[in-house]
Structure 1
Amino acid sequence: MSVSTPRARQWVATAWGPPDSWEFVEHDTPSPQKGEVTIRVLAAGVNPADAKHVAVPRTGLELPVPIGYEVSGEVSAIGADTRIGSGAVDIGDEVIAFRVRGGYATEVNVPAEKVFAKPSTLTHPEAANLLLVGTTAAEMLAVTGAAPGETILLHGASGAVGMSVLQQARLRGIRVIGTASETRFDEVRRFGGIPVEYGPGLADRVRDLAGDLIAAALDAAGTDEAVDVSLELVRDRRRIVTIAAAGRAEADGITFIAGSMPASARFRDEVRSELIALAQNGDLVVPVARAFPLDEAPAAHRLLATGHPGGKLALVP
């Protein structure tokens, strides 16, 4: 049972290297097997991990590698006796899929367990960017034990992960002081954070704003300043987490998390339904700065690499 077109297009890495070396190729989408569905992609999320995954050779990964972990679209074919992660599914249903392979495509087959009904409150570009940053943010809050009434420090508050942390923390009654450039202060305030400018004197500025103990620190920036200030202000190193400074984590005894780590993958899979429900209720939004045509994936990554895209980016076939 299918309404898919016989030929699809997708981005693949045919050599290790940057996005400018990827190729946009035609490919056949086979009929989905039991436990699979085919998604007609209406938007693909653009994430730094998409490029990092194929930047250099990796053990157990062979070229060519289809690119893209996160999509939103419509179901165009369903394997026999198959249900998706959120339950029953029909042709034409709007869905999202996360932790998949080959999402930078017009059509893609994915494991049905990774597919969920799309929140109707989100556009496809927004929905395609919900879960990677959302689950990362949720895990950062979880591993630091951030609790209602506490004040925490968030480095990189105006970035994609940071904005999800701000929203999830606000829902839990956690006060967040978030670092950002002064031009992004309004974005931090929009999601309930207290903005503070990074740069020399950061620790003193945070102390002035905190009024009490900084219980935990979440680093989504990866700079030495972020780690150094966190170590200075947080008494318990177990309550400092980074997603971008693995070397400092090992050297300084703080927590590093990544979606490729088994414990992180389990947590992120378990929290998907909760985040989708928050989005459906209007409690979790996804700011999208720009949508690029699918055939301009390298251009999207060039903007992402600047570190200041102003929100999430999406690819739209």
Structure 2
Amino acid sequence: MKAIVTEGYEGPDGLRLTDRPDPKVAPDQVLVRVRAAGVNPVDWKIADGALDALFDTHFPLVPGWDVAGVVAEVGLDATEFAVGDEVIGYVRRDDVQHGTYAELVAAPVRTLARKPSALDWRQAAGLPLAGLTAYQALDRVGVGDGDTVLVHAAAGGVGSLAVQIAVARGARVVGTASERNHDFLRSLGAEPVVYGDGLADRVRALAPDGIDAALDFVGGDAVAVSQGLLRRPERVASVVGPDVKALGGHLVWVRPDPADLAALADLADAGKLTVHVDRALPLAEAADAWRLSREGRTRGKIVLDVG
């Protein structure tokens, strides 16, 4: 099979397209013929060595955790799927080596759900990691009907999905973004505000009585600003770093969860959730995809076309 590999912590310059052996398929896995793979900042952070303290990483490394494709083979005890099923997955294992930037991936069934028919292959590939992150962060702070939620970096891959999921739950959403993304946020059901100095005052102008929950997908002072606006300061979740725990909030590191992934697919098929694909590049241009991701200006998701 063709796959993107890196031989060490070399960043985008170390990526190359090469031939790799087809994956072996364990009893609890299925072999997925990949149609598209999502690109996430964690992919290049791993290849930079930034997460070496968290994951046992082995080389040569095929990056990537997001996948959308078709089941080509089932393991001996993988009864959940059949050959020909269209699936999506957040294919994260306990160590890092066999990723989704490849024509084939052996995926544990615990990482997969059926692809929503409402999304095309590119959109479907952009859903798993970002969608699960948003979904689990909203769960962690208990967002439900009638809540007012502040979403930091609301136009990004995770933020844009968090906005839609919160709206689907009956929440009112205030989202931070640059002015060029305000119409995009309005189209998702959010009330946009510009981030930066004076953010707290701009949010208070929209929600004078305060907010019920906040999600931080950007870092910096987002948690501290949020806690000055929250009715209950502990109802803030961040994906950026452990400092949020010291401030009384919740750190969210996304977990594979087939039930959560299926719930996201159901929302998509119900017309309540979509994935905005900012750029789609061929698999061979994975390095360029990473360079775009590093710029931090992506609206929605970057994906790789594979098959």
Does TM-score exceed 0.5, indicating one fold?
yes
Q: TM-score, normalised by structure 1?
A: 0.88
**Residue pair 2:114, 2:262 contacting (<8 A) in 1 also:** no
Match of 2:176 in 1: 179
Residue matched to 2:232: 236
Residue aligning to 1:300: 289
> Is the 8 Å Cα contact of residues 152 and 175 (structure 2) preserved in structure 1?
yes
Give the Cα separation in 2 of the matches to 1:110 and 1:145. 30
Aligned to 2:109: 112
1:191 corresponds, among 177, 188, 193, to 188
2:93 is aligned with 1:93? no
Higher RCO structure (Cα 8 Å, ≥6 apart): 2
Q: Which residue of 1 aligns with 2:145?
A: 148
Instruction: Report the Cα distance in structure 2 between the residues aligned to 1:203 and 1:31, rounded to whole angstroms.
Output: 52
CA distance in 2, matches of 1:256, 1:36: 30
| Identical counterparts, % of pairs | 39
**Which residue identity is paired with 1:99?**
V
Instruction: For 2:282, give the aligned amino acid.
Output: P
- CA offsets 1:138-182 (integer angstroms, 9 cap, x no match): 111111122311212111111111111111111111111111111
Over the residues paired in the alignment, what is the CA RMSD in angstroms? 1.8
CA distance in 2, matches of 1:115, 1:199: 38
Q: Is the 8 A contact 1:31 1:77 kept in 2?
A: no
Residue type of the partner of 2:3? Answer: Q
Q: Which residue of 2 aligns with 1:83?
A: 79
Moved over 4 A (4+): none
**Secondary structure class of the residue paired with 2:47:** coil
Structure 1 match to 2:197: 200
Q: Distance in 2 between matches of 1:242 and 1:65?
A: 28
Distance in 1, Cα, partners of 2:278 & 2:88: 19
- Tell me the distance in 2 between the aligned counterparts of 1:153 and 1:220: 11
* Structure 2 residue 37 is the aligned partner of structure 1 residue 44: yes
Look up the SS of the partner of 2:44 in the other structure: helix
Aligned letter for 2:248? G
Distance (whole Å) between structure 2 residues aligned to residue 28 and residue 228 of structure 1: 48
Would you say the 8 A contact 1:14–1:23 is kept in 2? no
How far, CA to CA, are the matches of 1:251 and 1:30 in structure 2? Answer: 42
1:115-143 CA distances to partner (integer Å, 9 max, x unpaired)? 32211111111001112111111111111
SS in 1 for 2:9: coil
SS at match of 2:166: helix
Query: TM-score by structure 2 length?
Result: 0.91
Secondary structure of 1:61's match?
strand
Q: Does 1:289 find its partner at 2:285?
A: no
